[in-house]
Structure 1
Amino acid sequence: MIVNLAAGVQAFTSNAFLVAGERTVLVDTGANFDVVERIREHTDDLDAVVLTHTHPDHVGNLEAVKAAFDVDAWGYDTAVEGVDHAIEDGDTVVLGDHEYVALHTPGHKDDHLCFLAEEPGICFAGDLVFQNGSFGRTDLPEGDRATLIESIDSLRERIGDDLAALHTGHGPSVTRSPADHVELAGQMARQA
């Protein structure tokens, strides 16, 4: 089960995905809403927080979640406050009932990760790519358009045309031809 706990929130936040199963994990915590209450609507136990990156809209609720569920946070850079354990490029993490490969995808932010499970064909893309060819902004500190394009290309090479779901950091998840949206994001990033 994958549920976007930020759905319907009218505040500046990222999506926050509860991935339930053998290892119940929150992918990004969102910000500016009570995510702890929303987690408790689905489960009383949380095993970990996994971060796509550490922009404030993705980690604003991190301390509240860690305190409420006594869990650690995993991300790319443990030098960032609140990140307890490092996930390196190519590491495998269990989210719910599936193993995901962590892909270091900088360009939007240096510590950006995507998580890909080839089976069942699910990708958590953070702010790398979004629906309809949109892509992460590069005008913030650590943003770099050329690096972002390389990261999008790298993700596109890793995913198959049979990718079933692309869960993005903002906006709706993509479940119809998600690989095409990644391809389009690469094209649009080159033109912008």
Structure 2
Amino acid sequence: MIRNLARDVGAFTSNVFFVTGETTALVDAGANFDLVARLDEHLDDLDRLYLTHTHPDHVENVAAVRDAFGVETWGYDTDSEYVDNAIEDGESVPIGDDEYEALFTPGHSPDHLCFYAEETGVCFAGDLVFANGSFGRTDLEGGDRPTLVESIRYLHDVVDGGLSALYVGHGPSVTERPLDDVEIALQASQMG
């Protein structure tokens, strides 16, 4: 089961996906709300915390989650204080009951990852793409529009034909025709 623990938070935060199964995991930690209290409602133990990238709105709650659950974090750049274990492009990681392929997708940030489970068609897209064809901004430090376009193309090529659900860093998840949203993002990101 995938549940967004930040769904009704009024403050600025990223979505925080809690995935149950063989490997109980979080995808991103969010900011500006008490994530530990929300986790305490659902579990006694947490196996892993994955980070799509280390912008503040995705990592502010990392320290509290580490302290409360003794969990290590996984992300692209171990030079970041938020990342304990490196994940390489193409590496397989367990989330819930499935194996996800890590896709290195910089452009919004230089350390951005998406996670895609080919068997189920589920993708955690972070801030690469969003519902309705929106895509991550590139005006923050480390952002680069041409790199973002290539990353969206990479995601599109990997998920083409198999995408069933897109869980994004902000806003609603896409569970109906999610490949359409990725294609619109690819087209729109190439303009301007």
Task: State the TM bucket, normalised to the shorter chain.
Answer: over 0.9
Partner AA of 2:122 in structure 1 = I
Determine the C-alpha separation between the residues in 2 that align with 1:66 and 1:74.
12
How large is the RMSD of aligned CA atoms in angstroms? 0.7
Q: Which runs of 5+ in 2 are unaligned?
A: none
Q: Which runs of 5+ in 1 are unaligned?
A: none
Structure 2 counterpart SS, 1:172: coil
Cross-structure match for 2:13: 13
Note the C-alpha offset of 1:43: 1.0
Is 1:123 equivalent to 2:123 in the alignment?
A: yes
Determine the C-alpha separation between the residues in 1 that align with 2:50 and 2:162.
25
Structure 2 counterpart SS, 1:36: helix
**What does the per-residue CA deviation read over 1:152-191, in whole Å, with 9 as the maximum and x for residues that have no partner?**
0000000033411100000010001001100100111112
Determine the C-alpha separation between the residues in 2 that align with 1:81 and 1:139.
23
Determine the C-alpha separation between the residues in 1 that align with 2:40 and 2:137.
32
The number of equivalent residue pairs is 192
Structure 2 counterpart SS, 1:13: coil
Taking the TM superposition and a 5 Å limit, the aligned residue runs for 1:26-45 are 26-45=26-45
Quick check: 2:89–2:104 contact (8 Å CA) kept in 1? Answer: yes
Cross-structure match for 2:57: 57
Cross-structure match for 2:132: 132
- Structure 1 runs (4+) deviating above 6 angstroms are none
Note the C-alpha offset of 1:82: 2.2
Quick check: 2:54–2:82 contact (8 Å CA) kept in 1? Answer: no
Cross-structure match for 2:161: 161
Determine the C-alpha separation between the residues in 1 that align with 2:164 and 2:190.
25
The percentage of counterpart residues that share the same residue type is 64
Structure 1 counterpart SS, 2:190: helix
Quick check: 1:161–1:177 contact (8 Å CA) kept in 2? Answer: no
Quick check: 2:118–2:162 contact (8 Å CA) kept in 1? Answer: no
Taking structure 2 as the reference length, the TM-score comes to 0.98
Select between 142-151 and 159-168 the one with higher mean Cα deviation.
159-168
Determine the C-alpha separation between the residues in 2 that align with 1:131 and 1:29.
20
Determine the C-alpha separation between the residues in 1 that align with 2:133 and 2:190.
11
Is 1:83 equivalent to 2:83 in the alignment?
A: yes
Partner AA of 2:14 in structure 1 = S
Taking structure 1 as the reference length, the TM-score comes to 0.98
Note the C-alpha offset of 1:62: 0.3
